[in-house]
Amino acid sequence: MGKVTMGVAVVGSAAVCAAAALIMRHRMRISNRCVTAADILKELEEKCATPASKLKQISDAMTVEMHAGLASEGGSKLKMLISYVDNLPTGEEQGVFYALDLGGTNFRVLRVQLTGKSSIECQEFAEVSIPPQLMVGDAETLFDYIAAELAKFVADESEKFQLLAGRQRELGFTFSFPVMQLSIDSGTLIRWTKGFSIEKMIGQDVVAHLAEAMKRQGVNMRVSALVNDTVGTLAGGRYGNKDVVAAVILGTGSNAAYVERAQAIPKWHGPPPKTGEMVINMEWGNFRSSHLPLTEYDNKLDSESLNPGEQIFEKMISGMYLGEILRRVLLRMAEDAALFGDTVPPKLKTQFILRTPEMSAMHHDTSPDLNVVGSKLKDVFDISDTPLPTRKIVVEICNIMATRGARLAAAGILGILKKTGRDTVRDGDIPDTVVAMDGGLYEHYTEYRHCLENTLHELLGDEVGKHVKLVLSTDGSGIGAALLAASHSQYV
């Protein structure tokens, strides 16, 4: 009996020792794992560094590219497209104006009643899905469908919308596909994106197609403005604030537009605008400079993208890509530092599985145990029971990538302010400057927004910085388009 007891004790002791050894090895693996991950983290932080000196180099490079793009077509990575918008809303516009926003599998129609006192008295909109077969059919069928839905919307116009006597209804057309704009109310399609493929329309005037369809559907309406959504954001901001001189969209993608002196546009060969100004659509997502802090993750993302070598700036700062860069860093840590254990989680290898809203939620997690981080890793990657040190590493990567993106965006805005002479005191005067901002990244990613605003103030300094404001101005593709229809009305 005693031998049995002793044997059990020996076996039990051995089991305890083995368990203790396993625990020690597990702790050592976690410790070593975090040290290795910390090395990768340190390297990432160094390569993503954006000191003020580097940001000023980037803003200077942006300004140089702006000059080159205004001098000649194809002279710069920045297209610096002439928008033909030379008459921004003043707030004095009155009457009913419509907008049509076509940019994906849905389109919106919208109407506003303008009071002439920088205010919108009322507005209504409807959203309509486009049947998939129309996206790859023929132009006449597609535009007839759109015009028919517009006709229904017009027919529902209530008495609170008052069309001024003797006037035809007018519309701003936001067409979010690559277009070569020929005038304020005409432009030819360069190529389709977003699942559309109607080859015969390429090279044809998109406004003419819409106008002909409206005529066939009995819609008595004139297209007064063909609008880019960034230019629309600028118009929407200017309607309520005369100090708005630029607009930046930071959402899935990114772009900027600003008001330029007509004399500073050498490639403009048309008659001088009455206002002496022209809105320029920069297409700043395509900006590139040797000063940009690119990493191996950026280079690989670019090389594997649908447009390698293009839209480099956008790939570093916009919502489409921030979450994907985070995923790539986590994958490297999982492969090289066993961040999530001995096996690399399979879903971690799936491109674009991690969206920027999830990254934002993890970055903003203030719970003691970082429970939001843990739940997002579980929901997105099927990674369970992550220890707190691992979660902290994830948050730190979020912070590094969001900070880099926000600070680069601030440098881009500084470039615009430099180009327009609003970055410094001139003749003892500092003009008040407002940049209209739109996009879900700017609106909803609080840490990103605060970092961008603080960085811009840091770069400008206190004296000038207090005269520059970033103001949220939503729905440039809708309300902004309607306002541009008003400011470019045939009756103005």
* C-alpha to C-alpha distance for 265 and 181, rounded to whole angstroms: 16
**229 catalytically annotated:** yes
Measured CA distances, 271 to 262, 268, 276, 277, 373 (Å): 10, 9, 10, 12, 57
Annotated active-site residue in 108, 111, 169, 449: 108
Tell the residue number behind the tokens 């106008």, with chain if given.
211
CA nearest neighbour of 234 among 384, 59, 420? 420
Annotated active-site residue in 229, 298, 365, 475: 229
CA nearest neighbour of 457 among 428, 417, 404? 417
Tell the residue number behind the tokens 């229904």, with chain if given.
152
Residue 122 CB contacts under 8 Å (≥ 6 apart), including other chains: 112, 113, 160, 161
**407 catalytically annotated:** no
Handedness of CA 213, 109, 195, 186 (dihedral sign): positive
Catalytic residues: 108, 176, 229
